Every structure is written in C-alpha cells, then in structure tokens.
Amino acid sequence: MNKVQNRSIQLLALATGFALLVAGCQKHESTTAQEQGKTVPVTVVTVRLSTVPQIDETPGSVVSEHQVQVASRLMGYIRDIRVKEGETVTAGQLLFTIDPTDIQGQVNQAQAGLAQADAALADAKADYERFTNLYKDESISRQQYDKVKMMYNVAQSQAAAAHAGLNTAQSQMRYAEVRSPIGGVVTQKLASSGELAAPGRPVLVVENQGSLQIQTSVSDETFVRLKMGETVEVMIDGHAEPVKATISRLVGAADQMSHTHLVKLNLGKIKGLRSGAFASVRFAIGSRQGIRVPLEAVLQRAGISGVFVVDAQGIAHYRMVTVGGSIGGEVEIQAGLNVGDRVVVAGDTELDSGDRVNPAESAKP
C-alpha cells in the first residue's frame, strides 16, 4: 500500500469520526434543550362524540323580488339613454327616448284625415238639415230623405274614427319617452343609443333594492326536506358573518336540464347589500354523530390544517386534520382526531410540536 492510499484512509477515518462526534453533540444538546425548556400553559378540551348537522351547501345569488325589464312600446331607433348602470331612479323618471320621426308622420296623417272627415261631416250636416226641411214641406220623397240622412250618419262615424285615430297617434307619440315604472336601481343596460328598439325587447332593467331575495337550486333529496317559513343560514360575499333567510317559495317542478328545484328565500334589511352578490346557502337536512372542536383550535402551519394534541406525558404534537363545515363557533373534524384526544384551544400561538405543556381543561365541552 503506497503513501497516497494510506493518507486517504486516514482522512476518511477522521471525517467519519468528526461526523459521529457532531451528531452525538447535537443529540445531547437537543435532549438537554428539551429537558431544560419551559412548560407552556395551555387550555385543552377533550374530544367527544357530538351531534353534527348534515348540511347541503348550495350556491345562490341575491336578486330583487321586484324587477322590471323596461322596453319601448314603439319600433324605432333609440335617441339617447339618460341613465347609467348603478344609478338610482324614481318612478316616472325619463330613462330614454325613441326617435319620433315615424310617429310624427302618423300624427300628421291622422290630423289631415280628421280635417277631411270634419269637412265632410259639415257638408253632410248641411245637406241633412236642408233635406229635412224639404221633407217636412213634402218637396222630396221619403227615399231621398233617408239617403241624405244615411250619408250624414256615415260622415259622423267617419269623423269619430278620425278623432280616435288622431288620439291613438298622439298617444303613440307619448310612448317615444320611456319612463321608469318603479323607483329603484338600474342594474342592466341591454342596448345603446342608435340601436333599433322593438316592443318586447328590454333596453334597461330596474330593480327595487328594498325587497331582496336569494335564489338557489337544490337536489330532489334536499328539496323534500325543506319547509316553507324555515330559517336558513346564508353566507354572502362581502359580509363576514352569516345572515338568516326564510324560505318563501319552493318550486315543485324540477328543471328539465339540471333536475334541480328552485328555492327562494327572503332576506331582512342588510346594510350595503346589492342584487347580484354571490351567496352560499346552508340547508340543514339531518344530523349524525361526529367530532367537533372549537374554531380556535384549528391552525394553519405551512399551509396545512392541524391541531395540537397533548399526550399523556404532557407533550404537544401538531397533528394534521381534515376539516369539514363550521357551525356555532365549532368546526367538524372529518379525519385526524379520535374520541378522548386532548386538543389545545388556547395558548397555542407560540407552541411548537414537541413542547411540554401545562394543560388546563376548558370549561366548554
């Protein structure tokens, strides 16, 4: 064996010995640190079986109970729209106008027809009065008199029809100005100035924000468990706390495509709530036995949900759990805990897995 090989073997032996020495020191220091570490006071609860409500959580949206789609009663081009989305309007306020050129032509034509009918009526009336006197003097026959009388009656009818035609044309002119039928908020703008408006084609949508509802759809299984007037918990985007809603309508006929049933729920007065907000509706459809712990027991460490469990030696261990739904300040634990485990609910802010704790049982079950 040459000198180079001997030197390599010696260096390898020294490196191995140093590594073992460092590992032994680290283990000794770790054990010493644990033995000399302070005891953390914490509050714990003992896990027990409890009744867990079965919740069917469905998406929904906030809508207005009183919504009006505003359309023109005339065919014509939209001249101008005087309101914007989100703007509050009052009942009778002008929303948009329709170009009245075609309607004005109809009004002019009706006025000309009325003038002609009135002139014809005046002539027929004069003839009728003259022939009436002649008939009284027996200067004309009964047949001649009846003919003139009939022409006078026809002229009266034609004049009445011309008056009605003018009134209709003038009323059509009034429809060129479209006003809001209710007070509320403009939520949708479905057309723009210059587009052709037609009867039955909505231009704007106005909603009364004072009567808001939540609409959602549920399965057959959930639908058969619901009752009119039942109170339901709802989470609405933009609101940190859940709100209560009351079931106001259950639609028995299922949607042919989704095979779900429409459910409407009434909301109370909620400050700042607007239609269109997303909602999550929580229907309680039964109960079962499960495990629940206080919300404050569940922590997030490195993006993992977990709780601290205290063992019989008073050592806290961070345990990953699967979290279910929450209700009444508690959250269901679907996996990761067993009945009898002691879970830390207070004092765990600076707690690390492996710390020794001084547990005090919580007054809450």
Q: Does the pLDDT at position 94 exceed 90?
A: yes
Q: How many CB atoms lie within 10 A of CB 273?
A: 17
* The pLDDT value given to residue 290: 86
Domain boundaries along the sequence of the chain? 56-66+208-285, 70-97+178-205, 100-175
* The pLDDT value given to residue 365: 52
Asked whether the domain spanning 100-175 has the same topology as the one spanning 70-97+178-205, the reply is: no
Higher pLDDT, 203 or 1: 203
Per-residue pLDDT, averaged over 92-97, amounts to: 92
Q: What string of DSSP letters covers 65-87?
A: SSEEEEE-SS-EEEEEE---TT-
* The pLDDT value given to residue 364: 61
Q: Does domain 100-175 have CATH number 3.40.50.2000?
A: no
CA atoms of 307 and 301, how far apart (whole Å): 9
**44 torsion bin: left (phi>0), alpha (psi -120 to 50), beta (else):** beta
Q: How many residues can be counted in the chain?
A: 365
pLDDT tens readout for residues 253-264 = 988 888 999 999
Bridge-based pairing state of the strands 202-207 and 94-98: unpaired
Fold classified for 70-97+178-205: OB fold (Dihydrolipoamide Acetyltransferase, E2P) (2.40.50)
> Residue 163: which H helix or E strand, with range?
helix 142-174
Per-residue pLDDT, averaged over 153-177, amounts to: 83
CA atoms of 215 and 247, how far apart (whole Å): 10
Q: Which two tokens stand for residue 154?
A: 């026809």
pLDDT tens readout for residues 227-266 = 999 999 898 888 888 888 999 999 989 888 889 999 999 8
CATH class of the structural domain 56-66+208-285: mainly beta
**272 torsion bin: left (phi>0), alpha (psi -120 to 50), beta (else):** left
* The pLDDT value given to residue 31: 44
Unique residue bearing structure tokens 């679907």? 334
Q: Mean pLDDT: which of 22-31, 38-47, 99-108, 224-233 is highest?
A: 224-233
pLDDT tens readout for residues 96-114 = 998 877 777 777 888 888 8
pLDDT tens readout for residues 272-300 = 777 788 999 999 888 788 888 888 888 88
